[in-house]
A and B are shown apart, each in its own frame.
Chain A
Amino acid sequence: MAASMTNADVVLPGDVLTDRLKEITNKKVRLGPGLRWQSKDVVACKCGVLKSREDHAFWIDNHQRRYIPAKGESIIGVVSLKAGDIFRVNIGSNLPAALPYLSFEGATKRNRPNVQIGDLVYAKLLVANRDMEPELVCIDGSGQSNGLGVLSREGFMFKCSLHLCRKILSPDCSLLRVLGKKIPLEVTVGMNGRIWLRCRSVNDTICAMNAILAAEYTPEQNLKSMVYKIFGGVAAV
């Protein structure tokens, strides 16, 4: 991960970063979100902080709510249409995604999966290209569901920033562990800024939702006290 943020790390769209990248490494680099290769120059196309990894990967990190599909990411979508042999799923991107009914575990031509309009699905992006309809699957390579599929209607889905989704999924973030110690909960985090949550009561769900949303700007060391404050308990369990 990049070292502490300095002013020099902040980039604006149109900034030519070729020289800056050369200063950091002289190896072959990989360009991530927010960077573009344009007439032999690396150009930023988002405003944010330039970050890099040990393996010469560079990307721009910023606050964003609009999802841009990326291959292999797990997302939560809302089924909005049944059209022939596919479901149209709203995943928050510019185009709705297609989810073939055969890409569910155990589904055959005869045995269609039970998916209704308005259902939430946790799925993986199989195809995600620019200007192309994204395609989703709810199975892995061996035909197993592996946790993917339709989410229960009993939970609740809310939206948050993409950054928060990445933050709570990161192994360094203790939020879900702390929350899980406090109340029993079931949670699914989609990389498209949607979180599905199920708790025992409405009150728990609302509290957990607020705890998760509050975690966005809470430093790691304060997470525990924040969660305990919201759930009104003492800090020792």
Chain B
Amino acid sequence: MKVIVSAAEKQFINSAIASGKRLDGRDTYDYRKVRITYGTERGCCEVQVGETRVLAQTSCEVVKPSGARPSEGMLHINLELSPMASPTFEPGRMSSFGVELNRLLERSVRESKAVDTESLCIVVGVKVWQVRVDLHALNFDGNLLDCSSIAAIASLHHFRRPEVTVSGEQVTIHSLEDREPVALSIHHMPICVTFAFFQEGKYLLVDPSDREESVMDGTMVVCMNIHRELCTVQMTGSMLLLKDQLSRCCQIAIVKVSEITEVIKSALANDAQARKEGRKHGFAESKVSSRITTGHMEEQTIPIKKEVDGSGSEDEMEDEEEEEEANGEEKNQNGSDVKIDSPGVGTIGEGLRNTWGVPTEDSDDNGQDTIMEEKATTEADDKRGGNKSCQKNL
């Protein structure tokens, strides 16, 4: 089912983007709030990017390896789009949108060799582990790809497979009670960052929402890890981009990926801590109990950049509904503990100039913002905005 977007919405969203504003008060490069919640089961997690939610579950089983790669285990990723997420998703056959997302997830996680498949081998040519990541879209509010890629990698990191001992021909798979299960060996964390382009590539937005996706001309997906290694780049839609735009997107992706990686790492650390101390953990614990949540509304910031009654303040304000929620969630607007090594500088080989041909910080503040017609904020702004929108649910 295709939903027709009214001309009024199209026109308004385009003119809002042209004047550098977004409907939810974010800045051009702001990411929505990322939340990662782990379940009690190993390899189970729910990721929320704004209102978009994805549930991930990793599982494994012993299978016969493929003939071409007898010494490698298998990794499958499957994203399910049920009508629960959005009325536009139809049950049954996968839509072209679903196929595209699945393919991109495979490219970003499996083909970037994030998971060491050789370590999943038990007996060459006979028995290997098959690891499966099942992703379910619970709610769709745009940017499903980023949310699913975070969920997939966060779930893989959390997952533990049973310990196996091989003695001669004898293969023993130990139960979870028998021996401590082992974590998968994961080389890096590939994370997708989606950029939406408007008006033939003239304007760019990070992390498009549902409304923005419905009027955009095309997207560019940059999948990267924290070591600044590109895993996948994909462009779709009807627009032509300049070389500068590509490198600029990569730069933004570096910042976003390092922030999201920190969020995943701290969520993992918190979960590990809770398990170690024997505290209660899981989805039930992450929800506020004995509270009616139907009246809950996501907090949002609305930048006021207009002079009203002569009080020309350019500050940001919070909406009223925060007072209502008051569920102990800290608003660490500035005090987020996500740290980024100064963006634009390579994280490997510290102290050396990067060879990526991207301008470093000092040159950034002067000449960088004339690259495109879009509202160019400096990297420093970018970092601040990113920090703010990136919050953890502990």
Instruction: Tell me the smallest distance from the CB of A123 to a CB of chain B, in Å.
Output: 14
Contact between B311 and A118, CB atoms less than 8 A apart: no
Q: How far is the CA of A51 from the CA of B248 in the complex (A)?
A: 57
Question: Which residues from 64 to 82 on chain A have a C-beta closer than 8 Å to any C-beta of chain B?
Answer: 78-80
- Count residues on chain A whose CB falls below 8 Å from chain B CBs: 41
- The distance in angstroms between the C-alpha atoms of A202 and B23, with both chains bound, is 10
**10 interchain pairs, CB-CB under 8 A:** A78-B6, A79-B4, A155-B12, A157-B6, A158-B23, A202-B19, A204-B306, A213-B297, A217-B295, A217-B321
Determine, out of B277-285, B312-320, B336-344, the stretch whose residues face the partner at the interface: B312-320
Give the CA-CA distance A230 to B10 in the complex, in Å.
25
Interface residues of B in 293-310 (CB under 8 A from A): 294-295, 297, 300, 302, 304-306, 308-309
Contact with B along A51-73 (1 / 0, CB 8 A): 00000000000010000000000
Closest 7 CB pairs of A and B: A156-B12, A118-B7, A80-B4, A233-B309, A226-B320, A232-B304, A233-B308
Query: A90 with B309: in contact, given A153-B8, A157-B9 (CB under 8 Å)?
Result: no
* B23 near A209: Cβ-Cβ < 8 Å: yes
A203 and B21 form a contact (CB under 8 A) = yes
B370 in contact (CB, < 8 A): no
B32 to chain A, nearest CB (A): 16
Given contacts A203-B19, A205-B12, 12 further A-B contacts (CB under 8 A): A78-B6, A117-B4, A118-B7, A119-B6, A157-B8, A203-B306, A205-B16, A217-B295, A229-B317, A230-B317, A232-B306, A233-B308
Residues of A near B306 (CB, < 8 A) are 201, 203-204, 207, 232
A202 near B16 (CB under 8 angstroms)? yes
Q: Which B residues contact A (CB, under 8 angstroms)?
A: 3-12, 15-16, 19, 21, 23, 25, 294-295, 297, 300, 302, 304-306, 308-309, 311, 313, 317, 319-321, 324
Q: Using a CB-CB cutoff of 8 Å, which residues 103-162 of chain A contact chain B?
A: 116-120, 151-158
| In the complex, chain A residues whose CB is within 8 Å of the CB of B320 | 214, 217-218, 222, 226, 229
B7: contacting residue among A63, A116, A206, CB under 8 A: A116
CA distance A116 to B306 in the complex (A): 35
Nearest A residue to B9 by beta-carbon distance?
Answer: A157
Inter-chain contacts of A210 with B (CB < 8 A)? 25, 300, 302, 319
Residue in chain A with minimal CB distance to B17: A202
Say yes or no: A232 contacts B297, CB within 8 Å.
Answer: no
Q: How far is the CA of A98 from the CA of B313 in the complex (A)?
A: 49
Partner of B10, one of A118, A206, A207: A118
Residues from chain B with Cβ under 8 Å of A9 in the complex: none
| Chain B residues within 8 Å of A90, by CB | 3-4
Please tell me if A101 contacts chain B, counting CB pairs below 8 Å: no
- Residue of B whose beta carbon sits closest to that of A194: B6
A151:B8 contact, CB within 8 angstroms? yes
Q: Flag whether A24 is at the interface (Cβ < 8 A).
A: no
Taken together as a complex, chains A and B put the C-alpha atoms of A152 and B317 apart, in Å, by 31
Asked if A206 meets B16 with Cβ closer than 8 Å, knowing A217-B297, A232-B304, the reply is: yes
A219 to B: closest C-beta gap in Å: 9
Separation in Å of the A29 CB from the closest CB of chain B? 27
Contact A231 B11 (CB under 8 A): no
Chain B's nearest CB lies how many Å from the CB of A66?
A: 9
Instruction: Please tell me if A83 contacts chain B, counting CB pairs below 8 Å.
Output: no
B308 A231 Cβ-Cβ under 8 A: yes
**Interfacial chain B residues near A154, Cβ < 8 Å:** 8, 11
Q: In the complex, which residues of chain A have a beta carbon less than 8 angstroms from the beta carbon of B317?
A: 229-230, 232
Contact B7 A119 (CB under 8 A): yes
A161 to chain B, nearest CB (A): 10
The 8 Å CB contact of B311, one of A119, A202, A233, is A233
* Residues in A whose Cβ lies below 8 Å from that of B10: 118
Q: Which of B6, B25, B311 interacts with A232 by CB under 8 Å?
A: B311
Q: Which of B4, B297, B305 contacts A78 (CB 8 A)?
A: B4
Contact between B4 and A234 (Cβ–Cβ < 8 Å)? no
Instruction: Please indicate the chain A residues that have their CB under 8 angstroms from the CB of B7 in the complex.
Output: 116, 118-120, 153
- Closest Cβ of chain A: how far from B393's Cβ, in Å? 21
On whether the beta carbons of A153 and B297 are closer than 8 Å, the reply is: no
Q: How far is the CA of A80 from the CA of B12 in the complex (A)?
A: 19
CB contacts (< 8 Å) of A213 on chain B: these are: 297
